């Protein structure tokens, strides 16, 4: 019996990452919504900035927000932190299992840069934690007190990182590292600022010291940052399903436009929850996403051959470049089963998956991963011609 340790770790960690991410993002969205819907109490209540009555699940809820802290510390206080920590820890473990353990397959693209496995891992980690250092420096500088300018500068930093990573790593590896930079900055906000500041507030209360209102304001600032970074990082989590974007010649630009669209849409909802309806932000987001679809669809296709391509010719190309991975029993050291269950090592399998082969190997040129086998444009064109001719077998 062959036990696929990497495959089972991938499954377990991916499931944990999704579950924890849902919990973290759900809590983030809810508390930003709650904050934007608070109303001044009537009559005023000592220390209460705002309150909200809500109904859900057959019951009524009464939420109150204290700008600094309540007069008396409650006996039970829930800390929202493990949702964030678990999301990051599971995501980083998943990064290690897929992209670092499997660096020769998923991270390194020798056509871009001939990294060794250790060099590729070190470069990836440098981008992730270097990004955190840059983000913290920006937040703690005077720029941190100018939200709009800060947002523009941080967006420029991330876009520059995306460009650099797409020049160094495989398409998927580049995108996932941009996501890791953003996710690390987000969890850093929780670990380095939000939770420590809350602990200081609690400690001051218990010691009957005056609570510094700046602590809460700093936590609120970082929470808002996380709220706006959520949609871009969510897209990156699923981006490997869209090779038309990740394998595009200007993938970094497409990612920047998608991220801007996500931020604009998130801003629309934040304003709406605050009682302002600004449809222009929803329109801007939609137009940016439409622009991405147009740009991704205008990718130059490989030159088409005028000669008819026979099944044996197409099968020879697939055998050379695809079936080491996409076979019932893969021979590639990185796989113990065909990716996504797609096996091309029989005529029936080759015909069945012809549309997917066209999308991944011909249109987007995202396969083979990192073009490990050196598939040429001519071979892609010939394979596409066979598929366009009806993907016929003898």
pLDDT at 303: 54
Q: Are 28 and 226 in contact (CB under 8 A)?
A: yes
Q: Are 101 and 118 in contact (CB under 8 A)?
A: no
In the chain, which ranges are E strands? Answer: 48-56, 59-66
Predicted structure pTM score: 0.82
Compute φ and ψ for 11, nearest 5 degrees: -60, -50
Q: Which of 195, 183, 177, 166 is nearest to 229 (CA)?
A: 183
Q: Which of 271, 265, 270 is nearest to 283 (CA)?
A: 265
Query: What is the C-alpha to C-alpha distance for residues 68 and 57, in angstroms, rounded to an integer?
Result: 30
Total number of residues shown for the chain? 394
pLDDT tens across the length of the chain (394 residues): 566 677 788 888 889 999 999 999 888 888 888 887 888 877 777 778 788 888 888 888 888 887 666 667 777 777 888 899 999 999 999 999 889 988 888 899 888 888 999 999 999 999 999 999 999 999 999 998 899 999 999 999 999 999 999 999 999 999 999 999 999 999 999 999 999 988 888 888 777 787 788 888 888 889 889 989 999 999 999 888 888 888 888 999 999 999 999 999 999 988 888 788 899 999 999 999 999 888 887 765 555 545 678 878 888 888 888 878 888 888 877 677 788 778 887 888 888 888 888 878 787 777 787 677 778 878 888 888 888 878 777 7
Query: What is the C-alpha to C-alpha distance for residues 266 and 332, in angstroms, rounded to an integer?
Result: 42
Per-residue burial over 314-327, b = 16 or more CB atoms within 10 Å of its CB, e = otherwise: bbebbeebbbbbbb
Q: Are 108 and 120 in contact (CB under 8 A)?
A: yes
Query: What is the C-alpha to C-alpha distance for residues 71 and 45, in angstroms, rounded to an integer?
Result: 11
């Amino acid at each position: 019996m062959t036990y696929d340790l990497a495959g089972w770790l991938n499954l377990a960690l991916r499931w944990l990452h999704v579950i924890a991410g849902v919990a973290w993002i759900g809590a983030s969205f809810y508390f930003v919504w709650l904050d934007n819907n608070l109303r001044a109490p009537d009559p005023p209540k000592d220390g209460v900035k705002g309150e909200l009555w809500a109904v859900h699940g057959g019951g009524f809820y009464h939420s109150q927000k204290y700008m600094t802290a309540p007069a008396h510390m409650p006996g039970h206080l829930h800390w929202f932190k493990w949702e964030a920590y678990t999301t990051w820890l599971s995501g980083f473990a998943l990064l290690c299992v897929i992209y670092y353990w499997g660096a020769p397959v998923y991270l390194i693209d020798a056509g871009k840069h001939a990294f060794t496995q250790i060099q590729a891992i070190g470069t990836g980690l440098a981008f992730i934690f270097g990004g955190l250092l840059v983000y913290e420096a920006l937040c703690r500088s005077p720029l941190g007190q100018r939200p709009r300018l800060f947002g523009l500068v941080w967006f420029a930093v991330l876009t520059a990182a995306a460009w650099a990573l797409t020049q160094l790593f495989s398409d998927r590896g580049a995108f996932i590292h941009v996501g890791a930079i953003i996710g690390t900055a987000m969890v850093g906000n929780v670990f380095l600022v939000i939770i420590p500041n809350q602990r200081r507030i609690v400690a001051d209360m218990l010691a009957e010291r005056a609570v510094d209102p700046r602590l809460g304001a700093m936590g609120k600032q970082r929470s808002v940052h996380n709220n706006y970074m959520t949609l871009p990082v969510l897209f990156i989590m699923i981006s490997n399903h869209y090779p038309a974007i990740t394998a595009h010649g200007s993938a970094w630009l497409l990612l920047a436009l998608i991220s801007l669209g996500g931020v604009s849409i998130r801003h629309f909802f934040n304003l709406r929850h605050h009682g302002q309806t600004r449809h222009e932000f929803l329109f801007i987001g939609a137009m940016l996403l439409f622009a991405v679809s147009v740009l991704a669809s205008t990718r130059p296709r490989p030159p088409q051959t005028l000669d008819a391509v026979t099944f044996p010719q197409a099968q020879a190309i697939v055998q050379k470049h695809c079936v080491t991975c996409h076979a019932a029993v893969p021979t590639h050291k990185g796989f113990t089963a065909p990716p996504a269950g797609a096996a091309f090592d029989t005529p029936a399998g080759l015909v069945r998956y012809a549309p997917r082969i066209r999308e991944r190997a011909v249109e987007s040129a995202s396969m083979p991963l990192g073009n490990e086998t050196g598939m040429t444009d001519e071979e892609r064109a010939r394979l596409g011609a066979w598929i366009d001719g009806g993907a016929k077998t003898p």
